[in-house]
């Protein structure tokens, strides 16, 4: 039985346990692009279903297609062939702005606007027509959620440390109440202590809100700390997908064993 933050998943909120229900699904997805004047497959016939409330850690060598997979999930890029489904609906039929409220993304480097923390956090809701005056409590809730309860919302985002900026970036994404969170190397620019706190935050977010998370990282340690399942991609192809502890106990493929041994970079 999976245990999250000391709580067996049997006792976690039923709304996000939903075993067997794919929240987001990739069906025979291929992505090609021109590289050095030659068309190449960045992703090659990728199929994977991510159950609701699951943290899927995605690993693989540099250039394997991990970040491309995330970008396809919220239409920052489009698949060359195949389909990506959200709750069974082809995302190509969903308005991109609406889709990106449901499928939020946190990047490797925090990309905050040169505005106050308050303005960063309320930017998305205000675009949807929410009155700024009604968002005060929500801003405080999100800052508490990302463990920045003493931070003044009126402070300029550029004055924050990189770790604080990443937390605010996560809070800004959560302001849109996403159902899926895409995280592309969110700890790679952080010192070890700050990175560990962000990993704990990822688990806490899932625990509180039941968000489905796709977590890309070059760090096997980080993937193991947060993931329920592990997806290994090499040269754009799915090599293994399994329970994360099963992968770390013993990969089922030669490429999996080489990756775990640090022989694939």
Helices (H), the chain: 66-73, 96-102, 117-127, 136-145, 162-174, 192-209, 220-226, 244-249, 254-260
Q: How far from the centroid of its chain's Cα atoms is residue 183's Cα?
A: 3
Say if residues 115 and 61 touch (Cβ distance below 8 Å). no
- Predicted confidence band of residue 86 (pLDDT cuts 50, 70, 90): very high
Query: Closest Cα partner for 222 from 242, 246, 192?
Result: 192
For position 8, what pLDDT does the model report? Answer: 38
Quick one: which of 65, 36, 64 has its CA closest to 265? 64
The CATH class of the 3-260 domain is: alpha beta
**Segment 3-13 mean pLDDT:** 38
Over range 178-201, report the average pLDDT: 92
All structural domains of the chain with their residue ranges = 3-260
- The yes-or-no verdict on residue 36 having pLDDT over 50 is yes
Average pLDDT, the chain: 90
pTM (2 d.p.): 0.88
Query: Of 231, 226, 225, which Cα lies nearest the Cα of 259?
Result: 231
The span from the CA of 219 to the CA of 242, in Å, is 17
pLDDT tens by residue, 111-139 = 899 999 999 999 989 888 888 788 989 99
- The contacts of residue 98 (CB under 8 Å, 6+ apart) are none
CB-based contact 172:143 (threshold 8 Å): no
pLDDT at residue number 111: 85
Position 1 scores a pLDDT of: 32
Q: Is 21 helix (H, G, I), strand (E, B) or coil?
A: coil
What pLDDT sits at residue 16? Answer: 41
Which of 75-79, 118-122, 130-134, 140-144 is predicted with the least confidence, judged by mean pLDDT? 130-134
Which range is least confidently modeled, 5-14, 83-92, 166-175? 5-14
The tokens for 121 are: 């956090």
The closest of 238, 189, 248, 179 to 214, measured between CA atoms, is 179
Provide the pLDDT for residue 76: 95
């Amino acid at each position: 039985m999976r245990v999250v933050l000391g709580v067996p998943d049997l006792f976690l909120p039923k709304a996000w346990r939903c075993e067997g229900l794919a929240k987001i699904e990739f069906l025979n997805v291929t992505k090609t692009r021109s590289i050095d004047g030659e068309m190449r497959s960045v992703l090659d016939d990728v199929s994977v279903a991510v159950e609701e409330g699951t943290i899927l850690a995605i690993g693989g060598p540099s250039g394997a297609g991990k970040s491309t997979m995330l970008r396809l999930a919220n239409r920052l890029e489009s698949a060359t062939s195949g389909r990506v489904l959200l709750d069974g609906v082809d995302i190509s039929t969903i308005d991109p702005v609406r889709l990106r409220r449901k499928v939020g993304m946190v990047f490797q480097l925090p990309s905050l606007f040169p505005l106050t923390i308050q303005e960063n956090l309320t930017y998305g809701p205000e675009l949807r027509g929410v009155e700024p005056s009604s968002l005060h409590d929500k801003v405080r809730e999100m800052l508490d959620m990302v463990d920045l309860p003493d931070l003044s919302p009126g402070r300029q985002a550029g004055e924050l440390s990189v770790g604080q900026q990443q937390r605010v970036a996560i809070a800004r994404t959560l302001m849109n109440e996403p159902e899926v969170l895409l995280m592309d190397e969110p700890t790679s620019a952080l010192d070890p202590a700050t990175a560990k706190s962000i990993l704990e935050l990822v688990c806490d977010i899932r625990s509180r809100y039941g968000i489905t998370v796709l977590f890309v990282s070059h760090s096997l340690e980080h993937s193991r700390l947060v993931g329920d399942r592990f997806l290994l991609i090499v040269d754009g192809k799915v090599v293994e997908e399994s329970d994360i502890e099963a992968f770390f106990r013993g990969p089922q493929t030669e490429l999996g064993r080489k990756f775990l041994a640090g022989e694939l970079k």
